[in-house]
Amino acid sequence: MARTEDLIGDLAAGLRPVRRMPGPGVQAALWLVGAAAAIGAAVLLHGVRHDLMARLMLPQEGAQWLAAVATGIAAALAAAMLARPDRSARWALLPLLPLPFALAWAAMLGLGCLEDLVRLGDRALQPRLSMGCIRFILGLGIPLGAGLLLLLRHAGPVRPTPVLLLAGLASAALCSAGLTLFHHLDAALEVLVSHGLAIALVAVLGRALGRPLLMRAPVAAG
């Protein structure tokens, strides 16, 4: 088939020098630094909660916060790795590493719900959403996720779906961790539902709407 050889000739003839991309680890680190700065600024703007140190010292809240941060870092690194064709698909499992933390968090929140129930009666079980939480995680999580997808737009022709999901997860998890630093929520169920919902929403939005941010796979004519 001569046509393929022609194509190679055309590609080589039209070759332009490109700037080599930094490695995936560096890309993830770059984005994490940027995201930490943006979230940090938002947290300072809202004012850190006065009892922050005391709360983070509590084992359940410390574990919760660490789980969110670790999930965010792991998801960002996994997304950057999966965006490269030759990296193992097993990187997608990395964000599961903080799972024990996350489970501990959910269990603690579950206990928290029971405590609330004892303390507040059935008022504690009314499924309420904290719109503030959701607004913060969406408002900051979506632009941060979009930024990560633009940085990893080369994933488009290779492995778009896991990268779209992981980018959403990375930014939402970090925003959730940031939110904990200033937001007062005492009803555990509310935290569980609001944060969980917002994180899932950002991940799903990344999957559904992020596609145009990535490169498109080329198709040969004919």
Partner 1 sequence: MAGTEGEWEGWMAAAQAGDARAYDRLLRACLPFLRAVVRRRILDPSESEDAVQDALLTIHQLRAAYEPARPIRPWLAAIAERRAIDRLRRHGRRQGRETPIETFGETLAAPAANMAEQRLEAARLREAVAELPPAQRTALVLAKLEDLSLAEASARSGMSVGALKVATHRAVKALRKRLGGGAGD
3-state SS, residue 129: coil
How many Cβ atoms are within 10 Å of 220's Cβ, its own excluded? 7
Q: Taking the complex as a whole, how short is the minimal distance between the CB of residue 92 and partner 1, in angstroms?
A: 15
Tokens 């929140």 — which residue?
A: 109
Q: Taking the complex as a whole, how short is the minimal distance between the CB of residue 162 and partner 1, in angstroms?
A: 13
Q: Taking the complex as a whole, how short is the minimal distance between the CB of residue 218 and partner 1, in angstroms?
A: 4
Q: Taking the complex as a whole, how short is the minimal distance between the CB of residue 18 and partner 1, in angstroms?
A: 4
Q: Of the candidates 83, 58, 104, which has an alpha carbon nearest to the alpha carbon of residue 157? A: 83
In the window 125-144, what residues touch partner 1 (CB under 8 A)?
none
Using the rule CB under 8 A, which residue among 66, 100, 146, 154 binds partner 1? 154
In the window 69-98, what residues touch partner 1 (CB under 8 A)?
83-86
Using the rule CB under 8 A, which residue among 99, 117, 158, 209 binds partner 1? 158
d(CA 6, CA 132): 58
Q: Which structure tokens are listed for 175?
A: 């925003």
44 in the Ramachandran plot: left (φ > 0), alpha (ψ -120 to 50) or beta?
alpha
Residue closer to partner 1 by CB (options 118, 221) is: 221
166 in the Ramachandran plot: left (φ > 0), alpha (ψ -120 to 50) or beta?
alpha
Q: Does residue 19 bind partner 1 (CB under 8 A)?
A: yes
Q: Which structure tokens are listed for 220?
A: 């040969």
Residue closer to partner 1 by CB (options 212, 222) is: 222
Sites of contact with partner 1 (CB under 8 A): 1-9, 11-13, 15-21, 23, 83-86, 154, 157-159, 215, 217-220, 222
